[in-house]
Structure 1
Amino acid sequence: MIHEIDEALRALIRAEVLAGTEVDLVLDAPTRDWAARRNAPTVNLYLYDIREDLRRASRGRQNVYDDEGTVVARTLPPRWFKLSYLVSAWTQRPEDEHRLLSALLTCFLRHPALPADGLGPELAATGLPIPLGIALPPPEDRAFADVWSALGGELKPSLDLVLSAPVAAAPVYGAGKPVDEGLRIRTGELPPPARPTPEPRLRRPGRR
């Protein structure tokens, strides 16, 4: 699932932001050593956090239908996971980096979800959209400065890109064939209820 998200993001950025340019697009961790080795304008798309999206969790089994609308199996609903990317631009001049970040921000704002035609087979099979959020306030337990500190680099302008992706990993249980033979349905008025049979009376001794 994660690799399909990577490829879908790459395709979207290359088509709408980097088309006609010589800017590289990488997934490497933007550490101090990596920045020193970089020798070309680059957009860095670094996946720094993966956690379950409990807000989208659901319970109960789901039916699986065939082409005729018949239930053929049952399974549990997919589980959702939030993938957080640190998006940064690397050039020789801050002005060029800001232009790249502006183009990236506009691109993601145009797409509340990843384009369906760019999804891989695993994600496409779920039939569910992949919503994304860009430049939202960070959660209370994490700050962007902490991410850069953990990478060993200096704080740099960046965008926080968060996607929620479904993972259909639950087993599928086959459903029995629907019963369509041996059933009889009779319509009409119900027969009147049978009257109770009176019980015989016992005679007392000495009476005729």
Structure 2
Amino acid sequence: MIHEVDEVIEGLLSGGVLAGTGIEIAFDAPTRTWASRRNSPTLNAYLYDIREDTARREGGTVPVRDERGAVVRRRRPPRWFRLSYLVTAWTKRPQDEHRLLSAALASLLPHELLAPAQLPGALGALGLSVPLVVGATPGDARSRAELFSALGGELKPSVDLMLTVPFPGFPEYDAGPPVTEGAVVSARELDGPLADAPRAHQERHLKDVARPASVADTAEAPGER
């Protein structure tokens, strides 16, 4: 699922104002060794943090339908995860890097909510929209200086990009076949071959059986003692 999010980000960064420019989009860790091998303008989107958005967690199950709309399986609701990317620009001059970052912002800002049709593969098949936040750093994220220090490089201007993405819930359970017929009520014979009796007789017999016994019914006839 994460690789599909990478595809989305690559499409957004290489489109918009950067369409047709041939700017390279990379997802490598921007270490000092990686930076030394850059020989063309590059936008780097480094995935530095993955954590669940527990406020979105749900219980129960959700139906999985086929092309006819019939429920064929049931699965647990998706779990939502925040994927945080550090977007940096790499050129030979700081001014060019700033231009690249401006272009990246112009390409990302119009997309605050990605519809399922904009999402590839299994991510789009979930039928859920994905929110995208540009430039907002989570309060519990490590500082940019600490991050670049851990990568062994120097601090650079960067843009934080965060997508909250659904991941399918497992396991899935097979659903029973849909009900296509109404309820059928059958009655067994009570006193003799009821099925062979005329219909009117059957109805009277069933009414007599269903009628509660009265005091007169249970009283003894004269002379029976």
Task: Please confirm whether the aligned pair reaches a TM-score higher than 0.5, indicating the same fold.
Answer: yes
Q: Is the Cα contact below 8 Å between 1:71 and 1:175 reproduced in 2?
A: yes
Q: Is the Cα contact below 8 Å between 2:14 and 2:23 reproduced in 1?
A: no
Q: Cα deviations across residues 88-124 of structure 1 (Å, max 9, x unaligned)?
A: 0111222211111112112211001336444221111
Q: Which amino acid aligns with 2:108?
A: F
Partner of 1:124: 124
Aligned equivalents of 1:118, 1:181: Cα separation in 2:
41
Deviation (angstroms), 1:13: 1.3
Aligned equivalents of 2:48, 2:137: Cα separation in 1:
16
Q: Which amino acid aligns with 2:24?
A: D
Deviation (angstroms), 1:182: 5.4
Partner of 2:189: none
Kindly indicate whether structure 1 or structure 2 has the higher relative contact order, using CA contacts under 8 Å at least 6 residues apart. 1
Q: Percent identity?
A: 52
Gaps of 5+ in 1: 186-190, 201-208
Judge which range, 16-25 or 39-48, deviates more: 16-25
Query: Which structure's residues are more often helix, by fraction?
Result: 2
Secondary structure of 2:6 counterpart: helix
Which structure's CA Rg is the greater one?
2
Q: Which amino acid aligns with 1:130?
A: V
Q: Which amino acid aligns with 2:48?
A: Y
Secondary structure of 1:161 counterpart: strand
Distance 1:154 1:64, change over 3 A: same
Q: How many residues align?
A: 195
Normalized against structure 1, the TM-score is what? Answer: 0.82
Aligned equivalents of 2:85, 2:162: Cα separation in 1:
6
Q: Does 1:51 align with 2:51?
A: yes
Partner of 2:133: 133
Q: Which amino acid aligns with 1:105?
A: L
Normalized against structure 2, the TM-score is what? Answer: 0.76
**CA RMSD of superposed structures (Å):** 2.6
Secondary structure of 1:131 counterpart: strand
Judge which range, 81-90 or 48-57, deviates more: 48-57
Q: Cα deviations across residues 64-98 of structure 1 (Å, max 9, x unaligned)?
A: 23344332221111111111111001112222111
